[in-house]
């Protein structure tokens, strides 16, 4: 096996390995083994916690890196336990981060001719993706708290049940959305209500306002609310399950669900790239078979 890997690496642009740290080297397929055979090689080692450090030998799973990145601490209801996200974000985001690093290295090698060794950690990748609420910990030493489906600064921002049993999510993202939101809900009286006049006051009175908004949404169907909210250009969306998401009109319009023919498995439906690009494009193909 090492001889086969070495022959492939000698003419490859990129090698990616996703085994426990030290395993590739023991098999004769590590960076020190392959780089001398191809000085322009991009070698990416993707692991749970990185190739060195106190946790490098630990086994890693998506739920573990969600826990250790802080993501679980802000996911779930305020009174409940920490929750993992419903999708394997640690797995997916670390793969994306690896691809970013590889593409940057491929660009660099065109300039200086030097290969790169890239060490990507799932934990570090998820930490890098947590967004603006991380600034509370970085600058103030304050840990963000769980808010369920709510937003710390914007109210209403929640999921609401309609009369026909569907869920929708709405966020009054700025002060300019407040009056249109009230008109859409046929509660123009809220516009002048001193308890809800500003974003700060709505945040202070979030419990009361959410009760009022929830009661209002229960009076009409999803279709009715969609028309009213869209008519006022209020940020909203239906909560779709996976089957509904892949059948969504906008996804169909963009042609993102691809139908491919696999030589072993037969017809496959997959989620295609999220981008559209001008110019010639490579055809999408089915996943390769082994060997």
CA R_g for the chain: 25
pTM attached to this predicted model? 0.87
pLDDT of residue 258: 95
Tens-binned pLDDT, residue by residue, of the chain (291 aa) = 678 889 999 999 999 999 999 999 999 999 999 999 999 999 999 999 999 999 999 999 999 999 999 999 999 999 999 999 999 999 999 999 999 999 999 999 999 999 999 999 999 999 999 988 888 889 888 888 899 999 988 999 999 999 999 999 999 999 999 999 999 999 999 999 999 999 999 999 999 999 999 999 999 999 999 999 999 999 999 999 999 999 999 999 999 999 999 999 999 999 999 999 999 988 888 888 886
Q: Is the peptide bond before 5 cis (omega within 30 degrees of 0)?
A: no
Bridge partners (DSSP) of residue 157 are 171
The CATH fold of domain 2-132? Rossmann fold (3.40.50)
Q: What is the SS3 assignment for 227?
A: helix
Q: What stretch(es) of the chain map to CATH 3.30.1540.10?
A: 157-239
Q: Is residue 66 a contact partner of residue 84, using CB atoms and an 8 Å limit?
A: yes
CA atoms of 119 and 22, how far apart (whole Å):
12
Centroid of chain to Cα 235: 20
CA atoms of 217 and 168, how far apart (whole Å):
9
Q: What stretch(es) of the chain map to CATH 3.40.50.10540?
A: 2-132
Buried b (16+ CB within 10 A) or exposed e, 59-81: ebebebbbbbbbbbebbbeeeee
- CATH 3.30.1540.10 corresponds to the domain 157-239: yes
Q: What is the SS3 assignment for 121?
A: strand
Largest Cα span, the chain:
76
CA atoms of 133 and 143, how far apart (whole Å):
9
Structure tokens at 58: 């630990």
CA atoms of 100 and 180, how far apart (whole Å):
40
């Amino acid at each position: 096996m090492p001889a086969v890997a070495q022959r492939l690496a000698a003419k490859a642009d990129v090698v990616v390995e996703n085994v426990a740290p030290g395993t590739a080297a023991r098999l004769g397929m590590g960076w020190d083994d392959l780089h001398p055979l191809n000085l322009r090689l991009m070698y990416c080692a993707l692991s749970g916690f990185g190739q060195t450090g106190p946790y490098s030998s630990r086994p890693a799973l998506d739920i573990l890196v969600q826990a250790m990145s802080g993501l679980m601490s802000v996911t779930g209801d305020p009174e409940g336990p920490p929750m993992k996200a419903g999708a394997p974000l640690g797995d997916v985001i670390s793969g994306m981060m690896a691809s970013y690093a590889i593409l940057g290295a491929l660009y660099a090698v065109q300039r200086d001719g030097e290969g790169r060794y890239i060490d990507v950690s799932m934990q570090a990748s998820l930490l890098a993706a947590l967004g603006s609420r991380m600034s509370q910990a970085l600058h103030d030493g304050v840990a963000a708290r769980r808010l369920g489906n709510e937003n710390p600064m914007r109210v209403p921002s929640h999921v609401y049940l309609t009369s026909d049993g569907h869920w929708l999510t709405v966020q009054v993202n700025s002060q300019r959305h407040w009056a249109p939101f009230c008109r859409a809900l046929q509660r123009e009286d809220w516009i002048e209500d001193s308890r809800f006049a500003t974003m700060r006051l709505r945040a202070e009175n979030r419990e009361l306002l959410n009760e009022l908004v929830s009661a209002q949404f229960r009076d009409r169907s999803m279709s009715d609310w969609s028309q009213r909210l869209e008519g006022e250009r209020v940020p909203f969306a239906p909560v779709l399950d996976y089957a509904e998401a892949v059948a969504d009109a906008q996804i169909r319009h963009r042609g993102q669900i691809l139908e491919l023919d696999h030589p072993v498995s037969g017809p496959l439906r997959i989620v295609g790239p999220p981008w559209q690009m001008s110019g010639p494009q490579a055809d999408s193909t089915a996943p390769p078979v082994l060997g």
